[in-house]
Structure 1
Amino acid sequence: MSTTRPDPKRWLVLVAVMLAFLPVVLDMTILHVAVPTLTQALRASSTEVLWIIDIYPLLMAGLLVPMGTLADRIGNRKILLTGLVVFGFASVGAAFAQNAAMLIGARVLLALGGSMIMPCVLGIIRRTFEDPKERAIALGLWGTVGSAGAAIGPLVGGGLLEHFWWGSVFLINVPVMVVVISACFFLLPRVEKTTSGKWAIGQALLLIAGMISVVYGIKAGFGAKLPLVLALGIVAIGLCLLGAFARQQLRSKEPMLDLSLFSHPAIVAGMIMAIVATSSLAGVELTLAQELQYVLDKTPLQAGLFMIPIMAASAVGGPIAGFLSNQFGLRLVASSSLLLSAGALAMLGASDFHDPGFTVPALLALLGLTLSIGLTASSIAIMGSVEANKGGAAGSLEATGYELGTGLGITLFGVFISSVYARSMTLPADLPATLADDASRSIGDTYLVAQSLPEDQATALIDAGKAAFTATHSVLLSTAAGLIFCLSVLVFFMLAKYRGTTATAH
């Protein structure tokens, strides 16, 4: 049991790091709403659109653990402030990108900044809140800010796209960053306890190369962008690099990542929850944004308003998760919330979005609330299983789970959507054969092809695309429901022996 007196400014510190997390969340949700506008403005192909969205979580997946352990070595405050500055400059670059390639490059820099921010936020919370009940409340409030940012993101993005060019959805980050950097500079403690040892750049590069190779190989294989044999070869190389990294960690006197963290079932369960839940949520949100704008002909602002229930309900899920976990135990709260999420997704899959009534908004709110509770529960499980001096490393593992889930979710669900869409598409008989393949790749490509056709042909093609995407959307929601249901059962058993820790560094 810790005997250290609580930091009297701990709640102000929490405010500072929550503000730091806000722009990262805003960037991710604003982009989802802006995808249709981006596609048309930059004339981006479906592959380019996936890379614009996916390059961010792909690189984050490789960078988060090295940045988290670096923060444990030299201090969370330094890494956090550096990440915020990088994120701000990258936002400017993204806003004024002239083509898809430039936007992808700016997203690379956003990933670098984000990889510095995310593990530091969780690491600071873990170091600041030793009492497990206070920590559950703090993580719940942190989750609220993340969800509130997600709630504001689509609405702000839609409002901006009503009046300004697409780059404004990135430029909005700049004034936010000015406020956040100032708050963190003055509020975060300048003296921090750090772990001993050097930060081995060779180990970091090995981990980054391994993670990116595995994730890219999976993406390329499922996306049919590379021959299957070549994609499998890239995955195999990545696994070999990760194996070499793991062997280094076991033999090194100063390992970058303490692999004993994986001996905690709660940490493993928390990472699985983060990966599966975020992958499903990312796929559902991205698909919903396209359904609303491409199929239901809503403006970006109207789409943002339609998605408010899922985001607004998730904003209150964090504190509820902290309260319920203290009252009923993490195991029951985590598994029950995921089970309810699966039910909401299944019912949404059978709903008519053309006539939403009260049912669809209510189901979206239930989905947002329960998934938010589940994801906050994963944070409590992970951060409650480690000592304070390993908070950055544990936080980076959790954030890696989120980014892997987001990146792989968008990729796998994107490929899944393309496959189902192509099979569901009934092309007009008079459509030239040279355009048929392009038109059936995605609904965005359908609209691009329609722009080059006479009015009658264009209308027929768009109507066919809308029908195909509605069927695709239903299949995707049902599939996500099945994944979340399986996750709820798995988590129930994995958290059977969970007991949070109040231990401090030994």
Structure 2
Amino acid sequence: MFQRWLALVIIVLVYIPVAIDATVLHVAAPTLSMTLGASGNELLWIIDIYSLVMAGMVLPMGALGDRIGFKKLLMLGSVLFGLSSLAAAFAPSAAWLIAARATLAIGAAMIIPATLAGIRTLFVEARHRNIALGVWAAVGSGGAAFGPLVGGLLLEHFYWGSVFLINVPIVVVVVALAAHFVPKQQGRPEQTLNISHALMLIVAILLLVYSAKTALKGTLSPAIVTGTLLTGAVLLFIFVRTQLRASKPMIDMRLFCHRIILSGVVMAMTAMIALVGFELLMAQELQFVHGFTPFEAGMFMLPLMVASGFSGPIAGVLVGKLGLRLVAAGGMGLSAVSFIGLSMLDFSTQQWQAWSLMVLLGFSAASALLASTAAIMAAAPKEKAAAAGAIETMSYELGAGLGIAIFGLLLTRSFSASIDLPQGLNGSLAEKAASSIGEAVKVAQDLSPTLAEATIEAAKTAFITSHSVALGSAGAMLLILATGIWFSLAKVEQR
């Protein structure tokens, strides 16, 4: 028994950096913008490529684990994760860091199913398995919630690459211990892999996100944007059609025909979009506009992290007492109220109001996440529980990636439309300063003191305006979604 719990500690240990890496760069966004010279668009790709690639790779990596055994998958994923962390830590450019983050995501996509398969294999008794799964879930939610705080603490004392370097000693320890103390698992060589399907899904998602970003930025011709959008849409259509026809699909698309499961997927994606997108927005505003250090920004967002990380048990009780429909729609509705309230605040003078609304946002969004999990797993047929769990995982990761993209697009568009730059900037500099607050700060470094101060003040004012537009728009969309969830689940209850 001791060896089983020791093995659990080992496999959960490597899950910690995987969870943290999903959000650790949020407070590092201003630092990366200045250090690597990353544009606003490159900055979004650096952050959201991790979740988008992981969303497409986690399912075929799970199949690979069945084929070679979870121990081999765990060690292979850990090694790739460690090497990718080294590549990311010493990235000389934004493009290099984006590529390193993509390979980090592939390593993470190996580690997550390996840890879950390890728990299922090691703990036969349901009571012990549930305890182990509880530890695993706490590490995942806690790591993601406290990622910005960890990133801020490291950036306070070390250079930006330290947020990746901390992964390396963990990986070394895990690989060494796993080789000796984690029992081997017999693989199933007959297990089929769907790597090509996964790559098709990833390419489709990236093309669709890229076309949306470039369309709003206006940097490419409409013909190229339209071609990219159509290519992504065609690939997504082919992917869905392939899955429907496959004897062993990567995703059982027929599960989406179930109203409750579809509602759960929408809730999971929306809750992650809200939490992750808001953290990115806050991290930039607190540092660029209000002059916070990365650690101070992480501490300011601590109420959101605590509320989202520890609201699971309370939300679980509420689902049992109030029902899925009320908790799901209520969670979305309260998140909307939080966003609308936050859109009206000045974070430098109304901290207590901001913290109160962040607690409400963290609790309500996390409640919606738990409700989505309950909805998906309860509605799925018993023989398709694994497929439903895979859909839930993909929904989380897609929501995290799309949260960065959607909030980033809202911020970029409203910032460019609202900034009022001072006279004296030539055309190219003015265009660059109007693209994002990070670009405006970089432009100001090469200007005269008077013009630099005017440019930075204009950027701060525009960002505060775009912050209000982004949060207000998100709040309105969440209210519409809450209404739709309320009526969608009502139809199910009436059956």
* TM-score normalised by L of structure 1: 0.85
Q: Secondary structure at the match of 1:85?
A: helix
1:22 partnered with 2:19: no
**Counterpart Cα distance in 2 of 1:308 and 1:348:** 16
The aligned residue for residue 318 of structure 1 is: 312
Could you say which residue in structure 2 is the equivalent of 1:99? 93
Residue 315 to residue 205, structure 1, CA distance change in 2 (3 Å): closer
1:436 aligned to 2:418?
Answer: no
CA contact (8 A) 1:123 1:395 kept: no
Residue 345 of structure 2 aligns with which residue?
Answer: 351
C-alpha distance 447-210 of structure 1, shift in aligned 2 (>3 A): closer
Task: State the Cα distance separating 1:310 from its structure 2 match.
Answer: 0.5
Task: Give the corresponding residue for 1:360.
Answer: 354
Distance 1:209 1:354, change over 3 A: closer
Structure 1 residue 460 displacement after superposition = 1.4
Which residue matches 1:176?
170
Mapping 1:135-284, distance limit 5 Å = 142-178=136-172, 190-191=184-185, 197-284=191-278
Quote the offset at 1:187 in angstroms: 7.9
Q: In structure 1, how many angstroms separate the alpha carbons of the residues matched to 2:183 and 2:487?
A: 39
Q: Deviations over 1:406-429 (max 9, x none)?
A: 223322321221121122211112
Matches of 2:316 and 2:187, distance apart in 1: 26
Q: Aligned partners of 1:293, 1:275: CA distance in 2, in Å?
A: 27
Q: Could you tell me which of 326, 330, 342 is aligned with 1:332? A: 326
Note if 1:297 corresponds to 2:287. Answer: no
**Structure 2: stretches of 5+ with no match in the other structure:** none
Task: Determine the C-alpha separation between the residues in 2 that align with 1:100 and 1:18.
Answer: 31
The equivalent of 1:503 in structure 2 is none
Structure 1 CA distance for aligned equivalents of residues 407 and 297 of structure 2: 20
Moved more, 207-216 or 153-162: 207-216
How far residue 355 of structure 1 moved from its aligned partner, in angstroms, is 0.7
* Larger RCO (CA within 8 A; separation ≥ 6): 1
**Structure 1 residues 264 and 344: CA distance shift in structure 2, 3 A:** same
Counterpart Cα distance in 2 of 1:390 and 1:113: 26
Per-residue deviation, 1:168: 0.6
Call closer, same or farther: CA 1:188–1:474 in 2, change over 3 Å: farther
Partner of 2:37: 43
CA contact (8 A) 1:39 1:45 kept: yes
Q: 1:205 to 1:472 in 2, by over 3 A?
A: closer
1:403 aligns with one of 397, 410, 432: 397
Structure 2: which amino acid aligns with 1:34?
A: A
- CA positional deviation for 1:83: 2.2
Contact 1:68 1:393 in 2 (8 A): no
Structure 2 distance, partners of 1:17, 1:318, is 23
Residues 26 and 283 of structure 2 are in contact (CA less than 8 Å); yes or no, is this contact kept in structure 1? yes
What is the CA-CA distance between 1:161 and the residue it aligns to?
A: 1.4
Moved more, 288-297 or 189-198: 189-198
Rate the CA distance shift 1:178–1:338 in 2: closer, same or farther, 3 A: farther
Instruction: Specify whether residues 136 and 484 from structure 1 end up closer, same or farther in structure 2 by C-alpha distance, changes over 3 A only.
Output: farther
Amino acid at match of 1:373: S
Residue-by-residue CA offset, 1:142-170 (whole Å, 9 max, x unaligned): 55433322343222222221221111111
Residues 1:22 and 1:321: Cα distance change in structure 2 (over 3 Å): farther
Per-residue deviation, residues 323-368 of structure 1 (Å, max 9, x unmatched): 3333433332222222212111111111121112422111112211
Alpha-carbon distance, 1:438 to partner = 1.1
Quick check: 2:28–2:294 contact (8 Å CA) kept in 1?
Answer: yes
> What's the CA shift for 1:277?
2.0
DSSP-derived class of the 1:358 partner: helix
CA distance in 2, matches of 1:443, 1:485: 29
- Tell me: CA distance 1:173–1:104, structure 2 relative to 1, closer, same or farther (3 Å): same
1:349–1:179 Cα change, 3 Å: farther
Give the distance between the partners of 2:481 and 2:123, measured in 1 at CA.
Answer: 29
SS, match of residue 32 in structure 1: coil
Structure 2 equivalent of residue 382 of structure 1: 376
Question: Shift of residue 432 of structure 1?
Answer: 3.3
- Aligned counterpart in structure 1 of residue 103 of structure 2, from 104, 109, 121: 109
Q: Deviations over 1:302-325 (max 9, x none)?
A: 111111111011111122233333
Matched to 2:253, the amino acid is L
Specify the alignment match of 1:457 in structure 2: 451
Question: In the aligned structure 2, how far is the partner of 1:11 from the partner of 1:373?
Answer: 30
Matched, 1:307 2:305: no
Q: Match of 2:26, SS?
A: helix
- The residue number in structure 2 matching 1:479 is 473
Cα distance in 1 for residues equivalent to 2:372 and 2:235: 28
**Cα distance change, pair 334–177 in 1 and its aligned pair in 2 (3 A):** farther
Cα distance in 2 for partners of 1:332, 1:141 equals 28
- Output one character per residue of 1:106-147: Cα deviation in whole Å (capped at 9) or x when no partner: 112112112223455567778999999999998776554333
Q: Per the alignment, in what secondary structure is the counterpart of residue 426 of structure 1? A: coil
CA distance in 2, matches of 1:185, 1:326: 42
User: Are 1:63 and 2:39 an aligned pair?
Assistant: no
**1:87 and 2:81 are equivalent in the alignment:** yes
After superposition, the C-alpha distances for 1:202-221 in whole angstroms (9 at most, x for unaligned) are 44444444444334333443
Amino acid corresponding to residue 348 of structure 1 in structure 2:
L
In angstroms, what is the RMSD of aligned CA positions?
3.4
Greater shift in the superposed pair: 129-138 or 361-370: 129-138
Distance 1:247 1:415, change over 3 A: closer
The answer to whether the 8 A contact 1:124-1:392 is kept is no
SS in 2 for 1:453: coil
> 143-152 vs 342-351, which deviates more?
143-152
Decide whether aligned partners of structure 1 residues 339 and 356 sit closer, same or farther in structure 2, where only a CA change above 3 A counts: same
Deviations 1:87-106 (A, max 9, x none): 12211111111222221221
